[in-house]
Amino acid sequence: MIRKILLKDLSLGPRSPIVLWALVVPFVLTFAFRIVFGGLFNTEPRLGIVDLGNSAVTEAAAQLEGIKVTFLDAPDDLRRLVEEGNLDAGLVLEVGFDDLVRSSAQPQLQFWVGGDSLASDRIILGVTALDLVRTMSAVDSPVDVSVVAIGDQGLELSVRMLPMLVIMAVAIAGVMVPAASLIEEKTRRTLSAVLVTPASLKDVLVAKGLLGAILAILTGVMTLLLNSAFGSAPVATLLAITLGAIMMAEIGLMLGSWAPDTATMFAAWKGGAILLLFPVLFTIWPTLPQWIAKLGPTYYFLQPIFDLSINGATLADVAPQLAIAAVICIALLPLVMRFGRLLEGRLVGEAKHQQPVLTNA
C-alpha cells in the first residue's frame, strides 16, 4: 500500500511546483554561489602558457603550487580560452625570450587577462608572472619581496558556505515536499477518498515521509556533486545525507499534519526555519562559540558532511555525530505519531476523540 501511494506521489512530482522547486534549488543555489564566490572548490587561479622558444619560465611555472597551469601550442588557442573564461590569464613567451631578458633588452611580454576572472586571481597571476620572469634576469632585483601569511589560516568563506547549500537543498525537499503534499491532500479532500479504501493514514504518512526523504537524499547528493564536494568517503557522506533526509522528512510530516493550509505552512517555515539553519552560521563564522551549534539537531548531519567533504575526515571520525543524528531521527518518531493523531482528530472533525479510528493497518 505504501509503495502504491509513493509511486502515485512520485508520478505527480513533475506536476507539483513544490517538487520542481526542490529539485531546482541545488542548481540555483550552486549557480548563485558561484557567481558570488567564484565556486567552492575551483579556487585555484588558472594560468595558460604558450612557449614559442623553450623558455625556462615554462619549467618554473610547472613547479608552481596553488596555481593551475595549462600549456598550449598556439597563441590563438590561448587567447580563445581566456576570452571564453576557461582560463583566468594567458602568457605568451616569444622565441628567445630568456636571452632578451638576460641581456636586459626588455622584451615584450603578452599577458592576457580574462574579463570575467576574479580580481584576486588577476593579482595573483600578474605577480606570479612577473616573479617568474624576474628569476630569468641577470640583474638583481632592487627589492626582495618577502611573502608572509597573516590573519586567519582557516578555510575561505566560500568553502564554509557548503553546509548552507546542503541544508537548503535537503530541508526544502525533505520538509516542504511531504508537508505540502499532505496539506494538499487534506484541503482537496483526496485524503478522505484514500482513507475509505483499505489504505490507512499510517500508510499515507509513511509514503509521504519516504517521498520527502528520497527527494532530500537526491537533492543533497546533487548539491555535493555540483560543487565537487562529495569528499573522499562517499559512503559516509551518503549516510550523513540519508540521516539528514530522514530527519527533515519527519519534520515535514509533523508540519504537514499540523498546518491546515499552505499559507500556514509557509508562515511556519519562515518562522521556524532558523531552528534548522542556525548551526550553519557557526560554520560560516568559526569564531563564534561552537558549542551553540551543537544545540541544533541539523548540526549532527551537517558537520559530518562538512568534515567529510572539506577536512578529509573518515567515517570513524564522524561516527559519534552520526550516531547522535540517528538517535534524533528515532526520537522524532513518537512526535511524528503524535502529530499523526492530531491530523486524525482533525479528519474526524473533532479533537475530542482520543482513540484513533483510522490507524488499524
If one asks whether residue 102 binds other proteins (CB under 8 A), the answer comes out as: no
Residue 50 backbone class (left: φ over 0; alpha: ψ -120 to 50; beta: rest): beta
Strand partners, 90: 48, 112
Q: Which residue, 9 or 98, has its beta carbon nearer to other proteins?
A: 9
Q: How many residues sit close enough to other proteins to count as binding (CB under 8 A)? A: 30
**Phi and psi at residue 53, in whole multiples of 5°?**
-140, 30
- The span from the CA of 38 to the CA of 34, in Å, is 4
CB of 207 to other proteins, least distance (A): 11
Strand partners, 47: 69, 89
- The span from the CA of 292 to the CA of 299, in Å, is 10
If one asks whether residue 12 binds other proteins (CB under 8 A), the answer comes out as: yes
Cβ-based burial of 32 (10 A; exposed 0-12, middle 13-18, buried ≥19): exposed
Closest-CA residue to 170 (of 114, 126, 214)? 214
- The span from the CA of 272 to the CA of 141, in Å, is 61
- Choose one: 109-117, 189-197, 216-224, 295-303; the region binding other proteins (CB under 8 A): 189-197
Q: Which residue, 167 or 358, has its beta carbon nearer to other proteins?
A: 358
Q: How far is CA 31 from its chain centroid?
A: 11
Q: Which residue, 182 or 310, has its beta carbon nearer to other proteins?
A: 182
CB of 338 to other proteins, least distance (A): 18
- Choose one: 46-54, 172-180, 186-194, 257-265; the region binding other proteins (CB under 8 A): 186-194
Grid cell listed for 297: 539537531
**Phi and psi at residue 322, in whole multiples of 5°?**
-65, -35
If one asks whether residue 20 binds other proteins (CB under 8 A), the answer comes out as: no
CB of 193 to other proteins, least distance (A): 5
If one asks whether residue 189 binds other proteins (CB under 8 A), the answer comes out as: yes
Closest-CA residue to 249 (of 307, 207, 306, 303)? 207
**Where in 193-222 is the site for other proteins (CB under 8 A)?**
193-200
Q: Which residue, 47 or 201, has its beta carbon nearer to other proteins?
A: 201
If one asks whether residue 4 binds other proteins (CB under 8 A), the answer comes out as: yes
Q: Mark residues 335-354: x for contact with other proteins by CB under 8 A, - for none.
A: ------------xxxx--x-
Among 188, 264, 331, 338, contact with other proteins (rule: CB under 8 A): 188
Grid cell listed for 321: 555525530
Which residue ranges make up the site for other proteins (CB under 8 A)? 1, 4-5, 8, 11-12, 15-16, 188-190, 192-200, 347-350, 353, 355, 357-358, 360-361
